[in-house]
Structure 1
Amino acid sequence: MLLGRRRTARVCTYGGVLMLVFVLFIMLQALVTRDDVLNDFASVGSSRVFSSDTGLSIFDYPADDQRLVNYVRDVLIKQYHRSSTEPPYNLTLDRLNSDYSRGQSKIIDEHLNKKNVGFFVDVGAGDGESNSVTLFFERERTYNGLLIEPYPGRYKTLLTKHRKAHTLQACLRTNRTGNVKEYMAVKERVSTVVPCLWLETILAATGQKVIDILSINVRDEEEDIVRIIPFHKLDIRVVSIEFSHDTNSYIEIVKYMAKIDYVAIHQIVYHPLHKVDFVFAKKTKVKK
């Protein structure tokens, strides 16, 4: 009886050791796979973009480095070109002259004197339709633009909307973030590593010096992002920012925008949605 118990104990011990080894092996494989994914972002074509002497990836280059700008323009941005064979919009609410935003689009349209043909940059574009500030201008005012969205699920949905604009799956880099960030697609239970780029780099890649509308819809990073925008290098005419209602960062942003000669021309608070929307415009271009 005693011998049988000892044998059983040994079997249990060996089984526990084997299970521990198996778990460690799986964890090691996961880390290796993740490193491989990260390294994939440092590749252009068949050549690595790591500097052999410094070990830096291309995403570590300065924001205005032309090699980085070229890579973002030629590799990362999904370019849109108008054609007669392009698919029609695939929108949930497909009505002409519709304001898909919470009122910001109409305010901006009036401020810009219903200007036709312009350029927008939409940071945090979401699914490309819900509460979109830029969709109205794309459809009704023939604007071109760039839609930026880091979350895998939202970006995938965005592409199905057939927006007539360039798209970029990336997060914005700030002084508090690194050059890549991992996002989890909840439904698919798959993680995606996304590059984090300076907005200065992205804007340089568009080749646009005049940005009619800059729409920012990010979560709790509004102040960090606004403070690194190169306003002195570009003519950004209108800036629309959505804030979470439970943050006071908009107070600091209003002060900061005033210092760089932007004034708030629209503010609205949505208590049920816990949102605060601001629209800023250059003082020299504010309608009297």
Structure 2
Amino acid sequence: MRAGHCLSSPFRCKSLQHFSVCFVILVMSISLVLIYKRSVGHGYDEFSQREKRTNLNARMPARFFNNNRNKYNLMDETSGSGGLGKLKQFFNIYDKACTLDYINANKLAQDHPCVIEIIRKHYLNEPSPPNAPLKLGSKDLNDRSPGQTGVIFRLLKNQTNGFFVECGALDGEYLSNTIDLERKFNWSGVLIEANPKVFESLLSRNRKSWTLPICLSLEPFPTQVKFQPKQNTGLSHIEGEAKTLQQPGVPGVDPDLVTVQCFPFYSVLLAVGRTQIDFFSLDVEGHELKILKTIPWHKVDIKTLTVEWDNLLEGQEALSSFMEESGFIRIGAFDFQYTRDVIFIKDLLNNT
């Protein structure tokens, strides 16, 4: 604009200046919104794509675990995430590192990408190579389980190449509900054992399954708990406020309490990249029902379960009632050697 025009019409000049300022502010606001949306979505894009791939094979490529990105936009978990909170987040004031302390302190949701990354980077061990021979203490080819494997195998009509999750896996051989499925029928899966010393033996077996030295969380978020190893390793259990019928450790006989990290069952499935499970074996000395209540059943597809109820405070009927409400049929309660389990199968007629 020429100077003469401003002198002759100062009001018009001021109006144009105001318009220019408003226009600049508008453009900056739109840019901030677009950048903010991109920053929020960026941390979740890769995870969302992984969650959709629920039919992946059990063995994931090595690159899946070489993700060095350890920052997330944790806007949803930051208190005061209103307008000012979002602006602070935009300028990286509240950006948090993805750490174990952070996910525990903030009780991050079980499907949060930071929780999944922590599991993958620090707890999840890849299956042994296909050509690595099993290292078992015995060459006995008989069923190593107390009896659950045979029942499940019949329910699944002698299925081969299935996928299991066994929590309370012990050393991967003794009383294992999955070793025969793996070595005889080409199954693979996930083995979870919270007892640190027993887990070392599990790793040495060369199982063709993912392994994790954790406990399953009794809450829908990560937690740390006191864990009581027992001289009879099959009776090791979580101690503390969550009571069971299991006896506490005996001083001078049982090992001292240890701190163990727990993750929700669903978080473990997402970390492995598998939400379709043929067989879930759950034996944690009294906390089974609490763990089952953390599972978002509408997001997983589990065909069969065997659940120990020996040390369950709520009792067998409470367990059966909950599983029936969750879409399963109770096959029966079985008194196996060393354990008493209830076996369930998915109700396909009412879940289609």
TM-score by length of 2: 0.60
Q: State the Cα RMSD in Å.
A: 3.2
Equivalences for residues 29-108 of structure 1 within 5 A: 53=94, 57-59=102-104, 60-84=107-131, 86=132, 88-96=133-141, 98-108=142-152
Distance 1:92 1:145 in 2: 21
Counterpart Cα distance in 1 of 2:327 and 2:208: 32
Q: Does 1:229 align with 2:305?
A: no
Partner of 2:273: 207
2:328 to 237, 245, 262: 262
Partner of 2:171: 127
Structure 2 unmatched runs, 5+: 1-66, 75-92, 232-253
Pick the structure with more strand per residue: 1
Of 169-178 and 197-206, deviating more is 169-178
Counterpart Cα distance in 2 of 1:183 and 1:260: 29
How far off is 1:212 after superposition? 0.5
Give the distance between the partners of 2:311 and 2:168, measured in 1 at CA: 17
Structure 1 unmatched ranges of 5 or more: 1-43
Rg larger for: 2
* 1:244 partner letter: D
Q: CA deviation at 1:281?
A: 0.3
- The match for 2:309 is 243
**Aligned AA (2:323):** M
Give me the whole-angstrom Cα distance separating, in 2, the residues matched to 1:230 and 1:176. Answer: 9
Aligned to 1:36: none
Deviations 1:125-153 (A, max 9, x none): 11211221111111111111110111112
Judge conservation of contact 2:130–2:208 (CA < 8 Å) in 1: no
What percentage of aligned pairs have identical amino acids? 26
Question: Is this contact kept in 1: 2:219–2:264, CA < 8 A?
Answer: no
How far apart, in 1, do the equivalents of 2:113 and 2:156 lie? 32
1:53 CA displacement: 4.9
Q: Which of 310, 329, 345 is matched with 1:281 structurally?
A: 345
Stretch moving more, 141-150 or 185-194: 185-194
Per the TM alignment, residue 63 of structure 1 is displaced from its structure 2 partner at its CA by 0.8
Check the 8 A contact 1:237/1:285 in 2, yes or no. Answer: no
Give the number of equivalent residue pairs: 237
Letter matched to residue 101 of structure 1: S
Kept in 2, the 8 Å contact 1:170–1:195? The answer is yes
TM-score (norm 1): 0.72
| Whole-angstrom CA distance in 2 between matches of 1:177 and 1:71 | 13
2:282 to 197, 216, 237: 216
